[in-house]
Structure 1
Amino acid sequence: MLAPFLLTFVLFFIYPMLRAIQLSFTSSSLTETGAYVGFANYAKLVGDADFWASLRHTGAFALYTTIPTAAIGLLMALAVNRLLRAKNFALALFFLPYVLPVSVVTLVWQWILNGNFGIVNALTGLNNLWFSHVDTAMVTVAVVTVWWTVGFKMLLFLAGLQNIPKETYEAAALDGAQGFQIFRYITWPLLWPITMLVLILQLIASLKIFAQVYILTGGGPFNSTRVVLQYMYETAFQNLNGGYASTIAVAFFLIVLTMSLLQAALLSRKS
């Protein structure tokens, strides 16, 4: 019964990964396998200013989205969990953006933040080109991403809240716990495993950012929002340098894996 899954996993995940590692040691183009060049591509990557710049942009995006998404998702889950009659409506309303494809999400926000007729500029009296200004482009993409993905994190937190036994709250109330004390000493510690999961999932998703940046800003202005996956895409499909693109992919995989493991280790120490 495991054979279909294992075959699919090996064929579409393990083999491409091993193939990418192999290509990273070659001078391959996009269509032809090139000569073996050893660690030349990795030596080039170490001194590649464009790669390190894209890595910094990716890290900034992760910083702008990881903790805010978790915090807002938790607040939304706490609010929904306290509702009685309108719980299902609020749950559907908050979760709706998550089911939208990225193309729809970006199109909606391009209209909302349009510099000429966007509703945000009209309501605030500003005349800001949100996606075309160096100081606001990445932050704006982060805001769009948080709005789009926070519904799923809310759902995870809500599931955790509903699994906390009511008897625990009743016992705390009998001991005199009230308000924030209940959240600090009961809800938050029991939600910590869910919080760890949310933070790790969001960090990985944020580091893998591509579609929103590619559609909303194209990496601009002046490459200020070009992230690692976009740089890898441009290297492979525009510059037709498959070997070096594979090197970027392997290096970035190791960076994401290391950061995820470090985050998991740090979070587990606090639990």
Structure 2
Amino acid sequence: MKSRKSEARAAAVLIAPFVVAYLVLFIYPTVKMVELTFTDAPLIGEGAWVGVRNYVRMWSDRQFWNALWNTLYFVLLTVVPNTVIGLLIAMMVSRLKGWLQSVVLAAFFLPYILPVSVVTLIWQWVLDPQFGIAQYPLSFFVGERVPVFRTRAWIMPTVGFVTIWWTCGFNILLFLAGLRNISSEYYDAAALDGAGRWKQFRHITLPLIWPVAALVLTIQLILQLKIFDQLYLLTLGGATNTTMVLVQAIYRQAFVTNKGGYGATIALALFVLIVALSVLQYQFLRARDR
């Protein structure tokens, strides 16, 4: 009994810093944010209690629904393509050996370590309608130079492409780690049975790499639902309201118009959306794995 009590005290001492930090840095701010949604408070300071007025306003706010659609559209443009591209590149890199594999892997991972300001500056130069090098192939296929960050139909796909280029390196590392855990004996046995590359991928690689794919998909979903930085910087604050995403709507309501209560309401809606979609996707992927 004394030994168990001693172990319990030691465990309590070890986990106490984490519990305190979790309560102070996550639980308390979350409770205060929920409380803020029921007030008309500015960004800084107290506000009067307004009940569910902010939620009613959000439900009838066309700008909010536009931001929600743009966010989901961006998720469709990036989450699955980013995962698939990461897996394909990881499979190609895994076939390389020695220093060549290290150099190629470093080349793909390099963009991921760049800050968002550098990434956006690079692609503003590359896609500049006057002197951008990417305008030459664009003008060849389209027939003219395209100001992609000022053209509504091009903004989201272009920012999605830049995001995939920027973040794909992390996915490649995760997939490469998963591929290295697959024994080569499986492929040798399949080759002896006459299985080609496609059958090996379908019946060996994909089932064994699926847990990693589920992790990558979940991480990408959470990250892309919070899209803001690259879209805001590449479009210099947003070309029009039709390109606004949820985090940008929160920023505009809370920091620009000083409506902290309504901004917190949109933030809570985004939080619920992220939790709901992440749980649903993860459960779906686990069910498929089983």
Q: How many residues end up aligned between the 2 structures?
A: 271
Which sections of structure 2, spanning at least 5 residues, go unmatched? 1-13
Aligned to 1:249: 267
> What one-letter code is carried by the residue in structure 2 that aligns with 1:28?
A
Aligned to 2:278: 260
Greater Cα radius of gyration, structure 1 or 2: 2
**Equivalents in 2 of 1:123, 1:195: separation in Å?**
33
Alignment of 1:1-271 (within 5 A): 1-85=14-98, 86-125=100-139, 126-218=144-236, 220-271=238-289
**Equivalents in 1 of 2:191, 2:168: separation in Å?**
31
Contact 1:81/1:87, CA 8 A, preserved across alignment:
yes
> What one-letter code is carried by the residue in structure 2 that aligns with 1:269?
A
**Equivalents in 2 of 1:174, 1:75: separation in Å?**
24
The 3 A distance-change label for structure 1 pair 38 and 161 is: same
Q: Once superposed, what is the RMSD of the aligned Cα atoms?
A: 1.2
The 3 A distance-change label for structure 1 pair 192 and 165 is: same
C-alpha displacement at 1:218, in angstroms? 4.0
The 3 A distance-change label for structure 1 pair 40 and 124 is: closer
Contact 1:141/1:213, CA 8 A, preserved across alignment:
yes
Which sections of structure 1, spanning at least 5 residues, go unmatched? none
Query: 1:189 aligns to what SS in structure 2?
Result: helix
The 3 A distance-change label for structure 1 pair 59 and 219 is: farther
> TM-score when scaled to structure 2?
0.90
C-alpha displacement at 1:269, in angstroms? 2.0
Query: 1:119 aligns to what SS in structure 2?
Result: coil
From the two aligned structures, give the one with the greater helix fraction: 2
**C-alpha distance after superposition, 1:230-258 (max 9, x if no partner):** 00001001110111111111111111111
Contact 2:232/2:238, CA 8 A, preserved across alignment:
no
C-alpha displacement at 1:122, in angstroms? 3.1
> What one-letter code is carried by the residue in structure 1 that aligns with 2:57?
K
| Stretch moving more, 220-229 or 58-67 | 220-229
**C-alpha distance after superposition, 1:67-124 (max 9, x if no partner):** 1100100011001000013111111111110000101000000000001110111344
Contact 1:57/1:225, CA 8 A, preserved across alignment:
yes
**Equivalents in 2 of 1:104, 1:17: separation in Å?**
32
C-alpha displacement at 1:219, in angstroms? 5.2
> What one-letter code is carried by the residue in structure 2 that aligns with 1:69?
N
**Equivalents in 2 of 1:270, 1:9: separation in Å?**
33
Contact 1:218/1:226, CA 8 A, preserved across alignment:
no
C-alpha displacement at 1:221, in angstroms? 2.5
